[in-house]
Chain A
């Protein structure tokens, strides 16, 4: 019995706190990793030393994502997170994350999500069939993703094999 009490005491002394992850904190970190494992062969605009990642949806989501990855550097470029309304004003973005809270308007539903040089990431069930490149899914409380290689190629994006290996599904 003494052993147990010691164990538990030892425990209490070292533990430091923080709590369960928020969905969009983790998805933010995923976006960062997508940017890490993709090569852009065409760039919509030269954004200099910045790596702009745009979020369409609630401002709170943008803020969460920004808290996680804003200001981090990737290959010497500084990640900046911007709030956008959708494809129309994503001209300067390298990555566009269309959350399920995004209100793109009715006309946008029919619009293809493929844009040269833009890595589009979405959540809706039909996001890949609409030409999106990556879609988040979930599995028993854990985040997974699917990749549309056809859309990726037409957008001039090339994913590393490592990323493709981890995808739940690859449309080719």
Chain B
């Protein structure tokens, strides 16, 4: 509660200061644009120029965009940290390198309802359903923008875009010409550096190469008596991109990245059925990977456009009990055409083939079969119809066939109403699915042995519910969790509505509301027939559990974002999001745990206030205040309360000369440490500590 008041007081204070001091004196004609160099002019954002920009404010979806400048001024060093600036996205740091990132609920280390793409390449892993955030480290200086769409995006993006899509888009190479050097380090962010060079090739070709590396420090464990979690990480990476032109109407891109490093963790327990059943172990995970992508854009006579994209991606993770290698090939085609002045159509088709090889290093986590391919064929269409000057309707569907769950369809219908230039109203009804992961179907997990009770005699069922115990004795038990070959897709039917005010250059407002109905959510179904089996070491099997689709649920909420360009030099952005989640096992399900996992892991209130200020002498001051309400996360026994927290990030940047930037960043400036999340799979959470680091950027 203390935090809420503090936050409210600060907000009120800010507003008071605002209205009192800032009396605008419009001095637009005073600044002389002709004094700017061509380079500077090219860096200016202009209004009304971009059709894409207009489309964004006309979008019939809850969309939010982080620009390169937002990233630079956020002081963020990782993608999840940057995503904290997006309203309605729930980001929680589990330890130094693991994150829970989701939108509209269902937070977990493997948040499986959010699709993440980097330059059109999916980084969503089909093994556990989720994103390995620790190896997604695009160079921030080369990112053009990050588009975040909350709500189902299955109609265009396909499966697993259930609650949202994150699109990281890097700059075209013509915008990254010359050298760019970054170096820095400090507390927690021990040291980091990167280098990029961009050049020109012939009349139309541009290229860049880049390399970067970082070392991130250990943090303190939330258990283990507060010792170091041993969760440091060190990754080196490199990459290139070439943009060229084959003819007036044909543009192409070739790009690739690779990385190599290690992400470490020390956990207090190893899942083992042979003694010792529980030990403290530090493991180093070696992570390696790379990708190669080509894209060809063609403009047809008459203006219709098509894109053909092919990529290959390889991921390797070795350590932490399970080794994984994965190769993915993806081919994608889309075509956009204006049928008439008021009808536009986009359609496309794609094929993805992904094969993994897993090796269980410890007896804890394994897959059966150890290797499996997932294949996905898809097609989609989307029609846009300008019904009148002020009403646009968009409808379409995606059709997908995958070898894990079969045929899936994901239709949507949307509208945007523009009664005048200042206001936009939009609404949407859509369906999306989360296809089963390999883990859902093929996992075999031996959960941590726990001292518990063993049921000697059950009460008859009926009348008592199955598994009701009459007499229990204390015993060490082991739970086996098994995948289910018949596991089906989870699906959502989503109703959304939103409003945007875009009528002023200095103030904008975006409000989105949603009501989502989920069916066939993954459940954990106990199988009482195996209960009581004694293993060779004397441990007793608790009921085996297998995955099922026995949970249904609904969520509703509101997300708002307001921007106020107070003066040319001062911008404020305030975000607030509220969500309520409700999940229940259906009548055939014996699940007793999923409900708590879902309902307790997402904060019901989140807010942030970001201030970006340009001071004289080329100094920038950026402050962001975050508030996250408490969690009641499901734990082995009962639940664990994660206290609400307030975090303050401060960045001071200075340009002593045009091409050099010095900055000093403090994350969690006011607090020594707080916990944000409790890891789901094993005990692996750390406190998020105060971090202060300096950074130099040089362009030439």
Contact = CB atoms under 8 A, between A and B. Distances in A.
Contacts of A102: none
Interface string B72-83: 000000000000
A60 to B, nearest CB: 12
Interface residues of B, number: 66
Interface in B523-571: 565-570
A22 B48 contact: yes
Contacts of A166: 38-39, 42
A29 B27 contact: no
A1 B31 CA distance: 35
Name, among A14, A67, A68, A163, the residue most crowded by chain B CB atoms within 10 Å (CB to CB).
A14
B46 A69 contact: no
Interface residues of A, number: 50
A140 B26 contact: no
B42 A143 contact: yes
Given A12-B22, A22-B48, A140-B145, A5 B38 contact: no
A144 B22 contact: no
Q: Which of B47, B248, B614 has the most CB of A within 10 A?
A: B47
Contacts of A67: 29
Nearest to B612: A11
A3 B648 CA distance: 11
Contacts of A140: 50, 52-53, 144-145
A88 interface: no
Given A30-B41, A140-B144, A143-B46, A19 B25 contact: no
Contact of A29 (B36, B49, B145): B36
Interface in B618-662: 621, 623, 625, 648, 650
A106 interface: no
Contacts of B21: 12-13
Contacts of A165: 177, 200
Nearest to B18: A12
A11 B45 CA distance: 23
B569 A26 contact: no
Given A23-B47, A139-B172, A143-B49, A15 B570 contact: yes
A119 to B, nearest CB: 15
B648 A4 contact: yes
Interface in A1-50: 1, 3-5, 7-23, 25-26, 28-30, 32-33, 37
Contacts of B41: 26, 29-30, 33, 143
A172 B611 CA distance: 46
Nearest to B65: A140
Interface stretch (B9-17, B217-225, B306-314, B360-368): B9-17
A140 B10 CA distance: 35
B44 A143 contact: yes
Given A18-B567, A22-B48, A166-B42, A7 B650 contact: yes
A142 B45 contact: yes
B46 A17 contact: no
Contacts of A8: 14, 17, 611, 623
Nearest to A167: B174
Contacts of A143: 41-42, 44, 46, 49
B420 interface: no
Contacts of A105: none
B33 A5 contact: no
A140 B17 CA distance: 34
A22 B47 contact: yes
A164 to B, nearest CB: 9
Contacts of A14: 569, 615-616
Given A30-B38, A169-B204, A17 B25 contact: yes
A142 B614 CA distance: 20
Contacts of A7: 621, 623, 650
Nearest to B652: A7
A140 B172 CA distance: 11
B175 interface: yes
Given A8-B611, A14-B615, A23 B10 contact: no
B24 interface: yes
B6 interface: yes
Given A20-B45, A30-B38, A141-B46, A169 B25 contact: no
Contacts of B177: 165
B203 A169 contact: yes
Contacts of B48: 22-23
Interface in A132-172: 138-144, 162-163, 165-166, 168-172
Nearest to A149: B203
A16 B565 contact: no
Contacts of B39: 166
Contacts of A25: 33, 46
Query: Which one of A18, A129, A163 has the highest number of Cβ atoms from chain B below 10 Å of its Cβ?
Result: A18
A16 B25 contact: yes
B28 interface: yes
Contacts of A162: 38
A170 B52 CA distance: 24
Contacts of A30: 38, 41
A19 B28 contact: yes
B620 to A, nearest CB: 11
B669 A170 contact: no
Contacts of A68: 33-34
A53 B99 CA distance: 56
A67 B616 CA distance: 26
Nearest to B616: A14
Contacts of B36: 29
A72 interface: yes
A15 B144 contact: no
A4 B22 contact: no
The 8 closest A-B pairs by CB, nearest first: A17-B567, A29-B33, A18-B568, A17-B24, A12-B21, A15-B567, A23-B49, A15-B570
23 contacts: A3-B669, A3-B670, A4-B625, A4-B648, A4-B669, A7-B650, A8-B623, A11-B613, A17-B25, A17-B26, A20-B565, A21-B45, A23-B48, A29-B41, A138-B46, A139-B175, A140-B144, A141-B52, A141-B53, A142-B46, A144-B42, A165-B177, A172-B203
Given A3-B669, A140-B145, 10 more contacts: A8-B623, A15-B613, A18-B26, A25-B33, A26-B33, A129-B248, A139-B172, A141-B53, A166-B38, A166-B42
